[in-house]
Chain A
């Protein structure tokens, strides 16, 4: 076989090819590294902040207890203050700042157990909108206090989606969801049946997507106190008399 000589231009292009491949490799390598690191960082930050939040909540409930004690001591002084103290207690119960008991309705929602092959698994889980629909229907039915997995629903409570979990009062909760509502049990159940969005979840989706749903009336339910803060930053009282 006779020798073949390659022209310099071909050799130069070969060197360029190697150079380009090396550059692409450099860039792609750093891209690949950057992402997982950042995700790891954010996960750590999120975990730290959640721990911090739990500690602060703990402290908040301690301070609330102390405040209750102090209020009681102060109120014990005079009969006039007794009335005031009772009003304050009632206002707190309505606002959700103290745990309450009473008759009501308990709704338990859980994700579907089996997703048939080929089906969209998203259809088989409870979504934030489903939970919000149930809570809304219960409020429409005259519920006086509601909590979801121990998270009290107050005026500023958001219910929203957070990946595979649902955020209620900035606390992540997962399936099964237990919604407890205090009110007239019969009226509450009727309100659920009347509400279009709620009955869609409780009846239609239950059948269609094998969601596990149970609704039961009770003579005595316990609804938890609100664990977050109610410290307004922007609002101001209108008028002189706050009542």
Chain B
């Protein structure tokens, strides 16, 4: 678990140090991308705990999720329904909590708290 926290900290430090910025109108894309990454991370942790983690499934899932989310935001922008990105946000949000619940259950079972 420690290595994941370290990786996260490394990413944040790198981002803050380079002080990289994107055009403000693309902020929605980054927001959705963050959610997609979040979702994949929790999904990955869950799969690791269940010992079903597969590099191909994980990488492919991450890439397709991110692309679809970006596509939804893009379509929303184009057809004038900017709120369409909420669809991606809600979908990822629900999955996020689902995965978190699974992780919690597995950890509790392992430690015999249940």
Residues of A that sit less than 8 Å from B by CB: 1, 4-7, 9-28, 30-31
Evaluate contact between A20 and B30: CB separation under 8 angstroms: yes
| A94 to B21 alpha-carbon distance, docked (Å) | 62
Which residues of the partner chain B approach A23 to less than 8 Å between Cβ atoms?
Answer: 15, 20-22, 30
B4 touches A10 (CB 8 A): yes
Known: A9-B58, A14-B8, A15-B11. A24 touches B31 (CB 8 A): yes
Q: Main SS of chain A's interface residues?
A: helix
A23–B22 alpha-carbon span in the complex (Å): 7
Structural contact, B21 and A27, CB atoms closer than 8 A: yes
List, in ascending order, chain A residues with CB within 8 A of B12's CB: 18-19, 21-22
| Chain B proximity of A9: nearest CB distance (Å) | 5
Partner of A1, one of B22, B58, B111: B111
Q: Which residues of B pack against A, CB within 8 Å? A: 1, 3-4, 7-16, 19-22, 24, 27, 30-31, 33-34, 37-38, 40-41, 44-45, 48-49, 51, 53, 55, 58-59, 62, 110-111
Which A residues are CB-close (under 8 A) to B38? 17
Report the Cα distance A31→B24, complex, angstroms. 8
Is the pair A14, B41 in contact by a Cβ cutoff of 8 Å? yes
The chain A residue sitting closest to B40, CB to CB, is A13
Interchain CA distance A1-B35 in the complex, whole Å: 31
Choose one: B31, B34, B53; the contact of A17 (CB below 8 Å).
Answer: B34
Check if B4 sits within 8 Å of A26, measured CB to CB: no
Residue ID in chain A nearest B49 by CB atoms? A4
Docked pose: A212 CA to B9 CA in angstroms: 64
Least distance between B106 CB and chain A CB atoms (Å) = 10
Bound: A4/B44 CA distance, A: 12
**Structural contact, A13 and B62, CB atoms closer than 8 A:** yes
The residue on B at minimum CB distance from A30 is B21
Which residues on A sit within 8 Å (CB–CB) of B31?
A: 24
Given contacts A20-B15, A24-B27, A27-B27, contact A9 B59 (CB under 8 A): yes
Inter-chain CA distance A239–B15, complex, in Å, is 73
Q: Are B15 and A13 in contact (CB under 8 A)?
A: no
Task: Point out the residues of chain B lying under 8 angstroms from A11, CB to CB.
Answer: 3-4, 7
A9 CA to B110 CA, complexed, in Å: 24
Instruction: With CB as the reference atom, state the residue of chain B lying closest to A21.
Output: B34
Q: Are A28 and B27 in contact (CB under 8 A)?
A: yes
Cα-based distance from A43 to B40 in the complex (angstroms): 47
Closest to B9 in A: A18
Q: How far is the CA of A15 from the CA of B59 in the complex (A)?
A: 14
Closest 7 A-B residue pairs measured CB to CB? A22-B15, A18-B11, A15-B11, A17-B37, A18-B12, A19-B11, A10-B44
Find out whether the CB atom of A7 lies under 8 angstroms from the CB atom of B53.
Answer: yes
Give the Cβ gap from B113 to chain A, nearest Cβ, in Å.
Answer: 11
> Residue A19 contacts which of B4, B15, B44, B49 (CB distance < 8 angstroms)?
B15
Residues of B within 8 A of A19 (CB): 11-12, 14-15
